[in-house]
Structures are given as structure tokens and as C-alpha cells.
Amino acid sequence: MKVLVTGGAGFIGSNVVDKLINKDHEVVIIDDLSTGRLENLNEHARFYKVDICSPELEGIFRKEMPEIVSHHAAQIDVRRSLDNPILDAQINIMGSLNLLECCQRYGAKKVIYASTGGAIYGEPESLPASEDYSIKPLAPYGVNKYIVEKYLPLYRQNYNLDYTILRYGNVYGPRQDSRGEAGVVAIFIEGMLRGKRPIVFGDGEQTRDFVYVDDVVNANLLVLNDGDGGIFNIGTGQPTSVNELFKLLKEILKYNNQPLYGNERPGEIRSIYLDITRAQRDLGWRPEVGLEDGLVRTIRWLSERG
């Protein structure tokens, strides 16, 4: 199939592109390179340096006529969404609507939407959080991701544009950018490799669901032909505290220092991990890379990159 990947020069998107091409799909990439990197681009994909908010998007759709759209382009920084909620909405809502309009005008069959399982549920009263858990985001980023989720059924009903929503946990692995909250694993590793003391915000007992990027990519490939109209948590179903993450990295890297502790940051969730039963049952998907193995692979990639 011909698949258009927005954010295809970014961390997750570029890994999805590589797997699609490896499976002999034709791939088109749209990325404005605001956070994506040229070095992540697959040479076998066609690349357009375009913002998803731009009117130029329509011309690309008119020319390429993709069957599937994998939508990974986004403003992903929770703190930035608190500082500038208007910008977050412009990119994550209006950019997504621009994309959906192009999809329905030019005959795309399906949108695979990269949403957030780490920010959409807010502070759950019970864990793990399932897809049916109440939506109580603590930051505009989670709100705006959810708003787009609610548009997708409307486009399915009115324009026969199918969709699958994937709510990611905290994704980590090769090509992860150390900037922003989503890069906590990369931030720790890069700092520790340089002998610096990483900063833990709060007491470090806050938990996250760290899922390796290859497992996320596999979920994306599965829903090319499955999961229509569905919402699926993509995580490990296991909580890991920031302190536990640091301890594990310390052992792997044989690092001698301790972290520095700073103040908690607004908009950050205390504890979250995801119920992945639905993805296991309906898609036959399950995480295959354990945290220690995934961290070793990530360290190797970051070390080789220098």
C-alpha cells in the first residue's frame, strides 16, 4: 500500500517508516523538521518538508493519493502545552483537521492516529488504566489529543474514512530526542554517558509505562489491516518509577553518581501505566522487548551516535 507518514523524520515516525519500507510498502513522509531530523529519513521514501498546518498539504495529497495515513506529527511537550496552549491547539488540533480534510478529499481509506496513553487519563483513581477509563488530562496536550480522537468517528461516519487510535505509553529507544518530557530515557542516558548527574523532578517515585519503540512500530503495522474504529493502549502494562529507571541505568552503565532532585513540575502525572488487554485480545499484539533489554539497545545506539 501507499502510506503517508506525518512526522516521519521524528523518533517514532521514522522507525515506523523503516518498518513499512522493509515490508515493501510505498511510503511518503511529511515533516517540517521542527523536531525531526534529516538523518532519520529513509532514502527509499519520498519526503516533503511541510508543516501539517500548511495549505501545501493539499497539493501533496492531490499528487500522492495515499491509501493509509499514519499521523505522528505533533507538538509533544506537555510543559510547552501549558506555556503555550494556543500553539499546542494550532498544531495538534488544527493541523490534524487539515490532514483529515485532505484525507477525505483525496480518497484515503484510513488514518492511524498516534495518541497518548501517558497524558490522556490524567491521574487515574485505579491502575492500570484501560481505554474505557474516564478522560481527565492535566495539560492542554492531553486535551487536544483527545479532541482529535473525537473527530475521527465523525469522519468515519460522514466520509467513510476509517481510523485506528493508538494510545502510547512512554515510548523510548533509538532516535529518541533528549529534548522534552518524552525524552526522559534519552536525557538520563546521554547525561550519564557524559558523567553528568541527571535531574529527577519530585521524589522520583512517580511511575510511567515505558514501552520500547519496536513494539510500538509493530502495533502500527498490525493496524494497517486491523483494528478499524478501535482505540488501543500500547504499553507494557507495567509501572516503572523514575528512581527504578535510574537504578537500572546505573547498573547497566556502571555509573557511580547519584541523581539530583528538583521540584515537581506542573501538569505531570504522578502515576500511570496502561491496561493492554484489548490490544492483546483484538490485535494479537504484545510487547516483546523488556525494559532492561530495551535500555541496553538504546544505550548502544546513543553510544554509537556519539
Note if 141 is an active site residue: yes
What is the Cα 291 distance to its own chain's centre?
17
Q: Which residues contact 295 (CB under 8 A, 6 or more apart)?
A: 172, 185, 189, 248, 249, 252
CB of 2 closer than 8 Å to CB of 17:
no
At 69, list the grid cell: 495515513
Catalytic residue among 48, 121, 141, 255: 141
Cis geometry, peptide bond prior to residue 128 (ω within 30 degrees of 0): yes
- Strand segments, DSSP code E, in the chain are 2-6, 26-30, 46-48, 68-71, 110-116, 162-168, 170-172, 199-201, 207-208, 210-212, 230-234, 240-241, 260-262
Ordered DSSP codes for 94-132:
IHHHHHHHHHHHTT--EEEEEEETTTSS-S-SSSSBPTT
Measuring CA to CA, which residue among 166, 171, 153 is closest to residue 220? 166
**CA atoms of 29 and 42, how far apart (whole Å):** 9
At 82, list the grid cell: 501549558
Q: Which residues contact 278 (CB under 8 A, 6 or more apart)?
A: 130, 131, 230, 231, 232, 233
User: What is the set of active-site residues?
Assistant: 141
